[in-house]
């Protein structure tokens, strides 16, 4: 490899390239290239990682479920993820005020009410999430609002503890690379912050932790200004399970989004889930 200050379009640089000698144009590009080369060296030296889902019956069951349904509701998405070991907050889906009143007996106050109308994947953007409902009058007003604007189907869940940091976990399918997994910082500002990393499965929890340390907001997880460190290992374990799901259901699922994943001092839990299945022919 040669580094040459100046234009990479001159005759010497071009002839060197044709002879098999890579020419990097300038110090900045040289440093970027060296970093990539060292990262690839480290990648080659790491042990081969495996994250197979051993319960093939469970995989086959969910493939059938995804094939048979026309739409994956949030409650079904949470059930799928929970079945593969992803901690998700318990929620109930209802479609009338009477059903909601019955569900509240199990959920209790305070609670969150979210639209469950088919086709609304990003609920916050349409005002489809109402938080901190603490009594019956607020509950009835909130349901009436969602009913009039969006429709009768809603999901009710207990209000999660606000302590901790909001993370994200996602799966998407790339035409070239196959399934990829997104890890990093989430919540309603996930797209603005863009402090995430894309990983190629399979990978284990140790690899997730290594990748998280490269993110700019990672010090938040270790505790700042006297705060307690968060349970980073629990998030890394869940991300490794997501790696296994991404591979096991790669021909059935095109997208999974758990945002936010609330990470606290002890454990983490997904608060909202989206699963998009492969479209039928």
Q: How confident is the model at residue 5 (pLDDT cuts 50, 70, 90)?
A: low
Would you state the pLDDT for residue 40?
Answer: 81
Would you state the pLDDT for residue 111?
Answer: 98
Would you state the pLDDT for residue 38?
Answer: 86
Query: Percentage of the chain surpassing pLDDT 90?
Result: 69
All domains of the chain in start order, with CATH? 2-45 (no CATH), 90-159 (3.30.1490.20), 165-277 (3.30.470.20)
Mean pLDDT of 177-200: 93
Q: What is the pLDDT of residues 218-267, one digit of tens each?
A: 999 998 888 899 999 999 999 999 999 999 999 999 999 999 999 999 99
Mean pLDDT of 167-185: 94
d(CA 246, CA 244): 5
Compute the mean pLDDT over every residue in the chain, rounded to the nearest whole number: 91
Would you state the pLDDT for residue 100?
Answer: 97
Q: How confident is the model at residue 279 (pLDDT cuts 50, 70, 90)?
A: confident
Judged by average pLDDT, the poorest of 112-116, 150-154, 186-190, 197-201 is 186-190
Instruction: Write the burial class of residue 15 (CB in 10 Å: 0-12 exposed, 13-18 middle, 19+ buried).
Output: exposed
Would you state the pLDDT for residue 60?
Answer: 95
Q: What is the 3-state secondary structure (H, E, C) of the chain?
A: CEEECCCCCCHHHHHHHHCCCCEEECHHHHHHHHHHHHHHHHHHHCCCCCCCCCCHHHHHHHHHHHHHCCCCCHHHHHHHHHHCCCCECCCEEECCHHHHHHHHHHHCCCEEEEECCCCCCCHHHHCCEEEEECCHHHHHHHHHHHHHHCCCCEEEEECCCCCCEEEEEEEEEECCCEEEEEEEECCCCHHHHCCEEEECCCCCHHHHHHHHCCCCCHHHHHCCCCCCCCCHHHHHHHHHHHHHHHHHCCCCEEEEEEEEEEECCCCEEECCEEEEECCCC
d(CA 199, CA 181): 5
Instruction: Write the burial class of residue 175 (CB in 10 Å: 0-12 exposed, 13-18 middle, 19+ buried).
Output: exposed
d(CA 271, CA 114): 11
Would you state the pLDDT for residue 11?
Answer: 80
Q: Does 165 or 31 have the greater pLDDT score?
A: 165
Q: Considering only CA atoms, which of 10, 273, 254 is closest in space to residue 122?
A: 273
Q: Does 48 or 22 have the greater pLDDT score?
A: 22
Would you state the pLDDT for residue 161?
Answer: 87
Q: What is the pLDDT of residues 75-130, one digit of tens each?
A: 999 999 999 999 999 999 999 999 999 999 999 999 999 999 998 988 989 999 99
């Amino acid at each position: 490899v040669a580094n040459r200050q100046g234009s990479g379009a001159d005759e010497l640089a071009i002839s060197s390239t044709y002879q098999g000698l890579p020419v990097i144009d300038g110090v900045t590009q040289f440093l970027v290239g060296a970093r990539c080369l060292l990262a690839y060296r480290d990648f080659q030296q790491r042990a081969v990682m495996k994250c197979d889902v051993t319960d093939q019956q469970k995989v086959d069951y969910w493939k059938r479920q995804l094939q048979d349904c026309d739409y994956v509701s949030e409650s079904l998405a949470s059930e799928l993820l929970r079945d593969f070991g992803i901690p998700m907050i318990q929620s109930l889906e209802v479609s009338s005020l009477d059903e909601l009143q019955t569900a509240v007996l199990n959920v209790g106050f305070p609670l969150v009410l979210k639209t469950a109308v088919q086709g609304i994947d990003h609920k916050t953007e349409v005002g489809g999430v109402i938080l901190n409902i603490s009594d019956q009058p607020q509950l009835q007003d909130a349901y009436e609002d969602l009913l009039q604007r969006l429709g009768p189907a809603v999901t009710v869940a207990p209000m999660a503890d606000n302590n901790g940091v909001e993370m994200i976990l996602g799966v998407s399918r790339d035409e070239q690379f196959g399934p990829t997994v997104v890890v990093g910082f989430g919540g309603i500002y996930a797209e603005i912050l863009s402090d995430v990393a894309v990983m190629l499965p399979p990978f284990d929890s140790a690899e997730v932790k290594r990748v998280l340390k490269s993110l700019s907001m990672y010090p938040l997880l270790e505790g700042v200004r006297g705060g307690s460190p968060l349970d980073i290992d629990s998030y890394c374990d869940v991300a490794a399970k997501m790696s296994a799901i991404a591979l096991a259901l790669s021909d059935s699922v095109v997208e999974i989004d758990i945002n936010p994943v609330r990470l606290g001092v002890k454990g983490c839990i997904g608060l909202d889930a989206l699963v998009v299945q492969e479209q039928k022919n």
